[in-house]
Structure formats: C-alpha cells, structure tokens
Amino acid sequence: MESTNNAVASAANAVSSNVEHLKQKLVDFCAQYGISVVGAIIILIIGTLVARWVGKVLGGWLDKQQLEPPVRSLLVRVAKLMVMAFTLVMVLDKFGVPITTLVAGIGVAGVGAGLAMQGVLSNLVAGLTIIFTKPFRVGEYVQLAGVEGQVKTIEIFSTCLMHADQSRVVIPNRKIVGEILHNYGNIRQLDLSVGVGYGSDLKQVLMLLEEILKSNTRVLKSPVPGLGVTSLGDCSITIAVRPWTTVADFGPAGAEIYQTIIDRFRAQKIEIPFPQREVRLLGSGSAA
C-alpha cells in the first residue's frame, strides 16, 4: 500500500514538474517574443486597413480617368498586393527573419514561376496592349484569328466574341496581338443582289428598291445604301442592294428585304428571270 502511494506521489510530482516547466517555457517565450507578436499583429491589422484604403482611393481616382474596367481592377489589385507585401515584410522582420535572404529566394522563385507561366504572362501583356491601344471595343463586330463575332467582353487574359449562332468564342489575347484584324464597328453592310429581265424599266426598278429599303426599319438612313447595276448576265440584269444595318439586325434584315422584293416585284409585274436556253433548229434531214 505504501509503495502504491509512493508511485502516485511520484507521478504527481512528475506532472507538477512538467507543468511548471511548461509554464516557465511559456513565460520565457512571452518575455522573448511577446512584444514582437503583438507588434506583428498590430502591423498586420494596420497594413490590411491601409491596403483597403489605398484600393478605395485608387479605384475612385481611376473611375474618373475613363479607363477600361479590367485595367482599373488590375491596378487596384496590384496596389493592394504591394501594400500587403510590404506589410508582410515588416511582420517577418519583427521575428528576425533575414529579409535579404527572403527577397533573394522570392526572386529565384519568381524566375522559375515566370518560365513556367510564359503562356499566361504573354496573355496578360497582350491583354493590357489591347486594353490600352483599343483596336476594338465591346459591342463591335470583328473578324480575327480565323473567327468572327461581336465583342462581348475584353478580359486581361482573353477576349470573348458572340457568334451569329449565339455561341461564344473565347480567344487567348496572345492570339490577337500582332494578327490581322478586321473591325466592322457597330454597323455592317449587307451584300444582296437581285436579277431583273432585260425588258424591265431600270429606273422603275431602282426607285422601287429604294422605297423598299426606306420602308424597312432595320435599314440605317446613314450611311446611304448602295444601289446599282453590277453585271449583265445571260438572261438578267443583276442589281446590287447593299444597305447598312446594326450588328444585331444584320441577319434578319436580309431575309426581310428579300421577302419584300419578291412581293413588290410580283405586284408591279417586274420579272425576276431564271436561267433558260433557247434552242433553234436550222434545218432538218435524215441520216443516210
């Protein structure tokens, strides 16, 4: 019984000794690093508040400069990251971390990351080039990199086009910069044509086509539509009809104009000839 009590007392003494040791360690740690930890927390809180304030002030100033939204967002983020990076450097310095060695390590890591992310960085640089040089804007109809469509968004890394079939085409920005770009702007010109018989009154036909274009609400008044004879075929006179429309009306306008041309020509008895051949027999005879 006595041996059991001695064992319990010994265990209690050991636990008490460990607790006292941990307390002493905690006291030593607080005495050595307590001020540094408190200072680091204060610096981190102040740095976070300063980063938010800088982002808010810079964002308000950039809004007045009429910059593109992606550029404003990028500049604000870069400014906030720079403030936070400076804050972290000050926090690490509080704990005695050698800043020179840390910066050198970050530089080496940055070089490696840059080599591994060449495609991403090239898209970033190309995106900034597009945003600042403005070869096209959102809402314009463009043809580039073998595709065409209306520009929906211009992001830092890619540009999104809306195709005529309502599908989206996402193009990496590095595929755009340095390539041939056809920018139609916000309007497009239809390339329509109609054939009339050689016996038709061309003045009447042209006046009727002009009335058809003026009556269509999708056709723009300016620029003035192109209208005139373009070729003389075997059985018809071809007249070009080239009105201007907005990008959104480009598809439906062509169908509406053609339908109106057919209806009005039939009402005015204007012939729309179809290919035909006339065969004449100059003589007759029987083979021997």
- Indicate which CATH number applies to the domain containing 179: 2.30.30.60
Q: Are residues 181 and 192 in the same domain?
A: no
pLDDT in tens, 220-256: 998 899 999 999 888 889 999 999 999 889 889 999 9
User: Is residue 123 situated within a structural domain?
Assistant: no
User: Is residue 101 situated within a structural domain?
Assistant: yes
The residue among 116, 145, 162 that closes a domain is: 116
What is the domain count for the chain? 3
Q: Are residues 176 and 100 in the same domain?
A: no
CA distances from 177 to 154, 182, 286 (A): 13, 13, 74
Q: Which pLDDT score is estimated for 116?
A: 46
Residues 190 and 241: their CA atoms lie apart, in Å, by 8
CA distances from 40 to 80, 81, 101, 233 (A): 19, 18, 20, 87
Q: Are residues 178 and 194 in the same domain?
A: no
CATH of the domain at 213: 3.30.70.100
3 state SS for 60-93:
HHHHCCCCCHHHHHHHHHHHHHHHHHHHHHHHHH
User: Is residue 130 situated within a structural domain?
Assistant: no
The residue among 57, 81, 116 that closes a domain is: 116
pTM beyond cutoff 0.95: no
Domain span at residue 13? 2-116
**Does residue 223 have a cis bond before it (omega within 30 degrees)?**
yes
Residue numbers of the chain with a pLDDT score lower than 50: 113, 115-116, 287-288
Q: Which pLDDT score is estimated for 210?
A: 93
Q: Are residues 162 and 231 in the same domain?
A: no
Q: Which pLDDT score is estimated for 14?
A: 61
Q: Which pLDDT score is estimated for 288?
A: 45
Q: Which of 232, 231, 228, 250 is nearest to 240 (CA)?
A: 228
Q: Which of 181, 109, 113 is nearest to 151 (CA)?
A: 181
Residues 160 and 125: their CA atoms lie apart, in Å, by 17
Q: Are residues 160 and 92 in the same domain?
A: no
User: Cβ(82)–Cβ(121) under 8 Å?
Assistant: no
